[in-house]
Structure 1
């Protein structure tokens, strides 16, 4: 089979696994684009993206431009003479001039069944919304976000226990396989394109760290979905006695306690911490206290039971 010269654009772990697949394939990854390095912690330590680490380990040239419209950068990209650009969770909008630079265009691997959940957080949005299925869409890129023609899609079921972390792994497994199939079709010129139906389009919003503070004025079912959607980041939490307590596992108790306040701890036992919500009860089973590891609530209660007094109202 013919070998394609590929420029890969990506940043996060989801991207990195697709890059690994391409490196292990018969194709040639000739360059990589990734977002500029980030800074973390009080010491402002420089953090390389997962994609950058893989690129360095495989001696692949990497570009991290602040400005994709920079003419010098674009000239360098053009002179690589790649056949195609593949974009997976890159995090920057790619200008039309770059999209038109390659004989086989640019394709994007997106973690939803487009046009549902266009945008920055498709995996989280599918869990937040209580969707029963999602999938991978591979599309031709155009100059607007996630609106291009669909050239391949595959469905994946969402379980009632899936977190963003576990669902991402499912989608990586089917996405990497689908990517290689699409590249083979591109070589054989057997791609079938399908326009997206704008009437079915929904947009996923960017998730911020502040979104992880739980709002007890929501239903228990909504809170439980939010907890799963925000694992591994930003991880839901509540504030109790000036401590930010992260929640790693919870379930809904289908009882409606109207004689308790919203956000009130109504029970605390070996099964968890039961908190009254707008509708039904949220039972918190795994938590993480500041500076400590993730623990089952029953183990935390042996030394911290006074922290979770029945009748306490969490704002």
Structure 2
């Protein structure tokens, strides 16, 4: 089977590392042209294994689709991507187009489900491998795995777990020729959707309670980033701690709506 593997950043580099180790290699790899330490790893893996790679500005570009068509692929697998795939691209895969979603479908639809899982204090999240259609985050579900959130989980630590789980199960779908078995959706599960983070949730606003500020920082920093404006400047808040000791003081201890909070890690922006 000839697989076109699309991906971005750590999701793609982790997946390629596992595929290289098992020598289950895609026919061609596609990732965006912007610089990233993870994209450099992807380049190195492709070059070591003589895997062609393409770096289009847009997956909708007719010239890119024409070039991909020349590889005579059977399947498309997407390990994270930042663009919506057009029907003209999906139909190249006569053995199916699959997306590796970093959340549990259908309840965790949207582009950044791991961030919302942390913000919403979910006890678990997970991964879903599903059929790609012209409707985002829909199509038949072929595989799901739950991931338990630890106490104090951040979106970065959860994303690392998601990346590990996706890379571990990906080889199966480069070998599995038939996609006849799929998971029937439970009608009791509520379909949800969360998009990008609204600007107001990226503010370190001391009018909010301590729990809310902690959730924002764990979920949305360092990207897109929770910003605290103080003294005419701005800092990116990266880690905080609730303070119960009334005698605990310091430059980075502040009064929130219902208690005190300390900024433990930050950077100037």
Do both proteins adopt the same fold according to a TM-score greater than 0.5, normalized to the shorter chain? yes
Partner residue, 1:98: 89
2:240 to 223, 245, 250: 250
2:181 to 191, 204, 208: 191
Partner residue, 1:238: 228
Which ranges of structure 1 fall in alignment gaps of 5 or more residues?
A: 38-46, 256-265, 292-315
SS in 2 for 1:29: coil
Change (3 A) 1:108 1:200: same
SS in 1 for 2:27: strand
- Show CA shifts across 1:240-288 (max 9, x none): 1122233222234589xxxxxxxxxx875269614222xx224224132
RMSD over aligned Cα, in angstroms? 2.9
Assess if the C-alpha contact under 8 Å between 1:55 and 1:61 holds in 2: no
Change (3 A) 1:110 1:248: same
Shift of 1:172: 1.9
1:250-269 → structure 2 map (5 Å cutoff): 250-252=240-242, 269=249
Assess if the C-alpha contact under 8 Å between 2:26 and 2:174 holds in 1: no
Change (3 A) 1:244 1:49: same
Shift of 1:54: 1.1
**Structure-2-length-normalised TM-score:** 0.86
Partner residue, 2:39: 51
Assess if the C-alpha contact under 8 Å between 1:19 and 1:51 holds in 2: no
Q: Measure, in 1, the Cα distance between the counterparts of 2:30 and 2:216.
A: 32
Q: Measure, in 2, the Cα distance between the counterparts of 1:225 and 1:78.
A: 45
Change (3 A) 1:36 1:194: farther
Aligned residues: 266
Change (3 A) 1:181 1:53: closer
**Structure-1-length-normalised TM-score:** 0.74
Change (3 A) 1:283 1:267: farther
Shift of 1:35: 2.4
Shift of 1:56: 4.6
Shift of 1:183: 4.0
Change (3 A) 1:36 1:211: farther
